[in-house]
Amino acid sequence: MSSTDVAVFRGTDQIERYIDSLREPQWMLDIRRRALKAFESMNWPTTEDEEWRRSDISSYDFDRYGYVGEAAAAPAVSESAAPESGAQRSGTIRFRGGSCTELTLDPALAQQGVVFETLSALFENGVRNNSQSHAAAVTAVRKLLESRTAEFENRMYAWHYAAWTHGVVLCVPRFVEISRPFEVVMEHEGDEALSAPQVVAVLDEGARATMLYTVEGEEKGEVVLNEAIDVNVADAARLELYSHYQLNIDSSAFSNGRAEIGRDGAFHSFVASFGGMFTKLRMDARLNGTGGDIDLDGLYFASEDQHMDLGTVQSHNALNANSRTFYKGAVKDEAHAIYQGLIRVARNASQTDAYLTNNSLLLNDGARSDSIPGLNINTDDVKCSHGSTTGKIDPLQLYYLQTRGFSYEAARITLVQGFLEEVIVRAPEPVQDRLRELVEARILAEYDPDQD
């Protein structure tokens, strides 16, 4: 099913025409054109660049991919529908390819000024309607994206901001606290398709929310995902963001996450990486106000010949802030997992408390894992630490479980699940069992290297 693949634009030389075709506010088009200029002046990252040293993208021909767009046949979802009664979600947005196929939002939340929309709808509503909350959301998104695009770290990011294809936005007004999560599902489809979603979450002062974001795809078809997640957590606000990646084995994912956290604000990111042939996911969180708090959790399971490169940055730019990164994963078959983590402490960020931990479990010979933690500390009076381990299943633990009747396979599953459990319990409650099941299925999946 790639009927909704309506790519009109194919190739990076078409980005300008693509931008010209869009109906967006002038400031958004300005960002795109600025990004395009940067894109044209830069080269693709190479293995000479430290961050890309272990992830070689030189074999990609990025001109091959057609941009997914909104399909003409997609159901019109102009008005927010209410979720079914008794729903476990505050709202749901579902995309198939570049088209929104479902959009619900609890009307009570809409009444309180919560905006949960596709970006294209926001731009239209914000301009057309006299809705105050939409106008405020547009302003907030503009402010965040303009500051985010003041400079571009590399050509991949510039490409995204020039050519992003579709997106969602969650804006929660001051002191609105929401316990039921917002769900965003992006189902990617097509072949040789570039999907470049933009996810924006803005939490105003004292607001609280949880977002469950799932990236998945069809069983076949090569998709290149180049997404950006931009988050602003204002003073005393708190966002929990769960991101789940499960593209098919022909696809690639590049994700660039950035969160700005204000005074006493808190940001908890949980990244679960399962899919894709080639994956590079980065979450960069910045503590800009006193007393802020970051938790960056990650769970990865790489198997077959997957390449997974996960990165985190904990930036301390203010006093008395805490950050903690905990990435744990299993690597099987001929897969290669890479974790790069950085703690950066600015000169003025005294009384910082930061640590990062990365643990990998290799399930067989031939599986590989690299862990590269780094510290960049520019002040005294900090508590920073990092630790990383790479290990194998302990034969004594295996034997112990076997003496209790567990078969070799059952014992392995139990031990790997146990290894990952420490991070699974940090994921939002509703997804924990799904993670346990995925882990079990991955351990049981057989791999035939000659299959392709």
Partner 1 sequence: MKIIIKDLRASINGQAILKGVDLELDSGHVHALMGPNGSGKSTLSNVIFGHPAFEVTGGEVLVDGDNILEMEPNERALLGLFLAFQYPVEVPGVTVGRFLKRAVDIRAGESKTKGFVKELREMMDYLEIDQQFINRYLNEGFSGGEKKRMEILQMLMLKPTFAILDETDSGLDIDALRIVSKGVNKLREGNFGALIITHYQRILNHIRPDYVHIMYQGRVVTSGGGDLVDALEAHGYDWIREQYGIEEENDVQSVSSD
CA end-to-end distance (rounded Å), the chain: 22
Task: Decide: is 214 part of the binding site for partner 1 (CB under 8 A).
Answer: no
Span near partner 1 by CB under 8 A; candidates 129-137, 225-233, 309-317, 397-405: 397-405
Residue the block writes with tokens 């002062």: 205
Task: Decide: is 418 part of the binding site for partner 1 (CB under 8 A).
Answer: yes
Report the residue number, 56 or 394, with the smaller CB distance to partner 1.
394
**Residue 452 Cβ vs partner 1, minimum distance, rounded to whole Å:** 33
Task: Decide: is 399 part of the binding site for partner 1 (CB under 8 A).
Answer: yes
Report the residue number, 310 or 401, with the smaller CB distance to partner 1.
401
Distance of CA 352 to CAs 58, 240, 314, 403, Å? 39, 22, 11, 47
Member of 43, 48, 396, 452 binding partner 1 (CB under 8 A): 396
Contacts of 241 (CB under 8 A, 6+ apart): 201, 210, 211, 213, 229, 231, 267, 268, 269, 270
Task: Decide: is 392 part of the binding site for partner 1 (CB under 8 A).
Answer: no
At 308, which amino acid appears? M
List the beta bridge partners of residue 81. 104
Span near partner 1 by CB under 8 A; candidates 106-114, 119-127, 184-192, 388-396: 388-396
Span near partner 1 by CB under 8 A; candidates 111-119, 272-280, 346-354, 418-426: 418-426
Binding mask of the shown chain, residues 167 to 196, with x at each position contacting partner 1 by CB under 8 A = ------------------------------
Contacts of 31 (CB under 8 A, 6+ apart): 145, 146, 149, 161
Closest CA to 247 of 175, 311, 197: 197
Report the residue number, 215 or 415, with the smaller CB distance to partner 1.
415
Task: Decide: is 414 part of the binding site for partner 1 (CB under 8 A).
Answer: yes
Member of 93, 137, 415, 435 binding partner 1 (CB under 8 A): 415
Span near partner 1 by CB under 8 A; candidates 15-23, 158-166, 280-288, 408-416: 408-416
Task: Decide: is 86 part of the binding site for partner 1 (CB under 8 A).
Answer: no
Nearest-angstrom CA–CA distance, 96 and 70: 9
Span near partner 1 by CB under 8 A; candidates 22-30, 286-294, 410-418, 442-450: 410-418
Binding site for partner 1 (CB under 8 A): 394-397, 399-408, 410-411, 414-415, 417-422
